[in-house]
Each structure stands twice: as structure tokens, then as C-alpha cells.
Amino acid sequence: MNAVKESAAAEESAASPREGAGAPQVSGGSTTSVESWLLGKLRRVLGNPPVAFEVRGGSQVGPEAEAPVARVIFADRATLTSILADPWVRFGDAYSEGTVEIAGDLVAMLETVYRAGSISARSGSLWRRARSALRRHRVNSLAGSRDNIHHHYDIGNPFYALWLGETMAYTCAYYPAAQATLDEAQFAKMDLVSRKLQLKAGESVVEAGCGWGALALHMARHYGVRVRAFNISKEQVAWAREQAARAGLAGQVEYIEDDYRNISGHYDAFVSVGMLEHVGVANYSTLGQVARRCLGNRGRGLIHSIGRNYPAPLQPWIERRIFPGAYPPALSEMSQIFEPWNLSILDVENLRLHYARTLHDWLARFDAAAARVRAMFDAKFERMWRLYLAGSEAAFTTGTLQLFQVVFAPGESNDVPLTRAHLFVR
């Protein structure tokens, strides 16, 4: 992440005596002092989080004034050296391979790293630099999108069923109260979305990117609407159709294996939960055009997406190993969906801490199912996914990532709610 790199660069020239003075004369330095220097350098690159770094059976560096939150243990010096060459990708790979281990709480450790890196993110110049670096956004073509989605979502429904809960909703849940369970919170999220859309019996809804189909079923079952739900993941669509048939709702909910760009027809509501992350900023105007075409000059829309407080690239290991082509936008970028088409933003809610809690619940279930994950795939896959879930929880807890729910309507329409009372009083 740029923020972290920035911080490291600034500190590189002003390293503390303890960490800087041990700089090695590689030819004459002892094994220990070279290792200490390498460990210290990695710690500085990460913004000096309160974490201890050590080579197994060798040197260790860590915070001076406080107990470390966790210990990061490198199997050997070669691992450490390889990570230093490209920490933002190689750390995740080494963790997956098992050549890095964490003693202590993985999520807490990742939180300290995110927090250490965000300190310099408060400067206006950083934001401008991030913006200019992002000018050349990746374009997700129809074929490219299909490949990217296949990479993540088509690795097997039984795997996701191990830890997503009974709804199979793979997006931020909504916990109306702290004691809510994951399944209750996913139900509450689908209901919140339905209420924000003010769905009425007999209306028609189009959904762009429907995952395993739970939201479409919820809206049909509890609000009496007809839904056409689009998705380019073959496995998800197959699962969703089976659920609809089993629930006796196949006549009310149609799952269509196709790209959002190919949506046609007119609808009372347009909804997209957790797809925008895969659309790419260059296509936002096209997405807005699709929504405008679907709604005409009436109706309501809702887009739910991971976002950022300012434009910045996705963590590169996540982008490379987990979500190719993904990008969480800042609100200034999301506005490119709405502004070209005179779509009026009515309501934005930031559910960041709900996503931290959702990921916490997913990770607990994932950990409980770890042996079955290893049996389905292998140990490397299991570690990779644990790091992804733990890192995501840490990112939402520390404010590195946001979750925006945006309600909108055609700019000409006055059929919009005057207050939000309908969200709370039914």
C-alpha cells in the first residue's frame, strides 16, 4: 500500500539509533547482526508496528517500550530476504507457504501493521499522489471479468458452505444488536436493503451480481416482488437456481448467467450488493447507464460496495492471489456511477464495523472447519484464505477499508422517502 511505503521511506533516513546503528558491513558482520539489520529494515518498511520479528532460532527485533502484540517468525534468512524484496506480495505468499508463522493473534498483528502504515495517510499530498497513480485504471472487459470472477467464486460451493453460514451471503452483514448471530445479521442486511429500496408487493427488481442468490430469494419471499438476478459465476447461478426451486420461488425469481452490461428491461428497483468491487472505475459510468436504463425516470436503486476513504490501490497480495481485477472505490470514484446520468444520491451509510464483525464470524467458522478445508484443497490454500480473512477483518477494523451502501433515484423523481423513519418503524 502506498501509505505504508511512504511512511517507510520517510523513516529510512531517520532510523532510530537502536535499529540504524546495527547496519551491517556485510563482509565482516556476524550472522546475527546482518539478520537483525534485515529484520529491523522490514519492521521500518511496515511503519514500526508493535510486533516482534524473528528468524527461527536466530535474531529478534521488536518494540522497545511495550510488549509486542504478536511475534512474526521467519523460517530462515532466505525467507526474510525474499520478503524484503517485495514485502506487499511476498509476505502473504510466505505465510501461505508456511515459511512465516505468527505467534499470537493473527488479526491483532495485522491491525497493528495497518495502523502503523496509516499514520502518514493523513497528508493531503499522499492523496494527490494516490489519485495520480490511479489515473490508469484497469479495464474489466466482458471476457476478463468472467476469468476474474471464475478465479474466486467458482472454486467450489461446498468450500464456501463450510463458513459463510446458511444464507451463503458473501457480503457485509448488518448486526442490529451486538448479540446477533451471523445468520441473523445476514437476514437483517437483506431486510435493510429491501426496506431502503421500499419494495412493494408486485414490483419488479433487477439485481446485478447476485452471488448465491439469497437476497433475490429474500426480496421475493418477504416483499412479494419479482426478481431477475444476474451473475457470471456458473457455480453460483447453479446453486441459486436450486435454492429457488427448493423454496418454490422459481416462478418469482429468475437467475440469469450473464454480465450486468447485458441487463435489459424496465424495473421498479435496481440493486447490486458486492459486485461493484469487480466492475472497475472505468466501467462505473456504464453501470450507471444500465441502472438509469432499467429505472427510466422512476423507481429506486441501491449499490453496496467495499470502499475507501480516499483513492488507493487494493493491497497487492489480495489483488494478485485472491481478487484479480478488484478495486474498492472512494466515494468520489463511486459518484462516477451516478453523476453522468443525473441519478440522485439519497442516502449513503457506512457499515465498516459491521464488515469487521462479519469477517470475525466468518474467520471463526473457517478456523473451525480448517481440517476440512485442508482435505478439500491443501495446507497452503487453507493458510492463504486464513490470511485473507484475517487481513480483511483488520482492514475494516482499522478503517483501511469502508463499506458504503448508497441509495439513489432518478433525478427527476419525487417518489422518494422524506425521512428514514421507514427503516426503523414498520
User: Interface with a second copy by CB under 8 A: which residues?
Assistant: 115, 118, 121-124, 127-128, 174-176, 285, 289, 292, 309-311, 330-332, 335-336, 338-350, 352-354, 397-399, 402, 404, 411-414, 416, 418-421, 423-425
Distance of CA 36 to the CA centre of its chain: 34
- Least distance to a second copy from the beta carbon of 330, Å? 6
Taking the complex as a whole, how short is the minimal distance between the CB of residue 238 and a second copy, in angstroms?
A: 35
Q: How far apart are the first and last CA of the chain?
A: 44
CA gap 331, 206 in Å, rounded:
23
Q: List the 60-61 sheet strands across, edge first.
A: 60-61, 52-55, 70-74, 100-104
Residue with cell 464456501: 160
- Angle between the N-to-C axes of helices 2-12 and 124-133, in degrees from 0 to 180, rounded to the nearest 10: 120
CB 1 within 8 A of CB 313: yes
Secondary structure of residue 255 in the 3-state scheme: strand
For a second copy, the closer of residues 311 and 328 by Cβ is 311
Report the C-alpha gap between 59 and 68 in whole angstroms. Answer: 15
CB closer to a second copy, 144 vs 340: 340
Q: How far is the CB of 9 from a second copy (least distance, A)?
A: 18
Q: How far is the CB of 50 from a second copy (least distance, A)?
A: 16
* Alpha helices (H) in 134-181, listed in sequence order: 142-153, 157-161
User: Minimum distance from CB of 353 to a second copy (Å)?
Assistant: 6
> Cα separations (Å) of 236 from 177, 209, 396, 411?
30, 10, 26, 34
- The residue behind cell 471479468 is 145
Give 81 or 344: the residue with its C-beta nearer to a second copy.
344
Cβ proximity to a second copy: between 66 and 424 the closer is 424
Residue 146 Cβ, how far from a second copy at the closest point, in Å?
Answer: 26
- Least spacing, CB of residue 423 vs a second copy, in Å: 7
Residue among 59 and 118 whose Cβ is closer to a second copy = 118
Return the number of the residue (352 or 386) whose C-beta is nearest a second copy. Answer: 352
Give the nearer residue to a second copy in terms of CB position, either 36 or 120. 120
176: left (phi over 0), alpha (psi -120 to 50) or beta: alpha
